[in-house]
Structure 1
C-alpha cells in the first residue's frame, strides 16, 4: 500500500533534536490535540479522476444554465451565470477578454447605469427574430449571423468589388434576406441545424 509523509504529525527524536516525519498508511487516522479539542485527521489520496469530472460538470451545468437563461430571455439569471463564469475565465487567463466583458456587463447593468437604462441594456442582450415562446437568442449571435450572410453577398460580387457596389449590396441586404426567407417559408424549407461543427 502506498505510504505518505505527514510532516505536521511527526515525532521528536530527542537524540538528534529534530523532527522526523512519520510514515502513515493511506486512510490511517491520527489524533491531533488542539487545546482541549481532539481533531481526527484521515489521510486520503486525492482522486484526480473525481476532481476532473467535478470540474467538467461545473463547466457543463453553468453553460447549460446560461443557454437556458438566454433562450428564455431571463435577463437577471444571465447576470448570475456571468458571475459564476468569471472564475473560469480568470483561471484560463488573468488577461482573458471574456472575463473583462463579463465584468464590464455586470458593472454597467448593476452599478454604473441608471435603473431604467440598465434594464434596457439587459433586455437588448437577447433578440427573438420569430417571436416564438422561449426562442430567444443572443443579440451578438444574431448580428454575427447577419454579418456572415452579408459576406456571402460580397463574395457574389466576384471581381466587381468596389466601394460603390459594396455599399449598394449592403443596402439591399434586408430586402434580399426578406425575399429568401419568404421563399423558404413557401416551399417549407427547413434548415438542418446541429451543434457539431462537422457531422460524423
Structure 2
C-alpha cells in the first residue's frame, strides 16, 4: 500500500495501529495493494466505534493479503470486533486488490488473488489509477456491517457467507463489495427490524 494512504491511516487510527510509544510519522505497513484501502478504512472505523465505548485496547498487529483475502490480525478484542475483521476478510474476496472494483478470487500465475475482470487475465492489465477515498462506500459499509452485527449477533459471520433469496441467491459478503450492495443489506435488515415485509 502506498505511503500516503498508510500515513492517513496512522493519523486517523493511531490507537488501533500503534502502542503509546510510537514515533510521529510512523507507518504501520499494510501488506496489500491499494484496492482494499476503502475496505480497510471502513473496518478500522467500525472497530474504533465498537472499541471506544467498551474501553477495549484493540491493537492491529498485522494486515496483509493471504490466499486472495485481506487478513487483519489483532489482539485484545471481543467477539463483535472479531466478527468485524472476519466479515472484512470475506468481503475482500469480492473486491479487486488492485483497483477496488468488484471482483473475485482467481488463480493468477499459481497464486490466489482477488481481481476484477480487467486485472485477472494474463498479460491483460488495465492501468491502475491512484486510489480515491470513497466516503460513500465507507459509510455504507460501516452501516451495513453494524446492522448485520446488531441483527445477527454471534451468527453474523455465518449469515454473510450463505446465499440469500432476498439478494437473488447472492451471498451478503459479495454485496459488501459495493456501495449499492451495502445499502441493499442495510435496507433489508432495517425493514426486518421494523417488521416490514421484504
Structure 1 or 2, whichever has the larger Rg, is 1
Q: TM-score, normalized by length of structure 1?
A: 0.23
- The structure richer in strand per residue is 1
Q: TM-score, normalized by length of structure 2?
A: 0.23
Higher RCO (CA < 8 A, seq sep 6+): 2
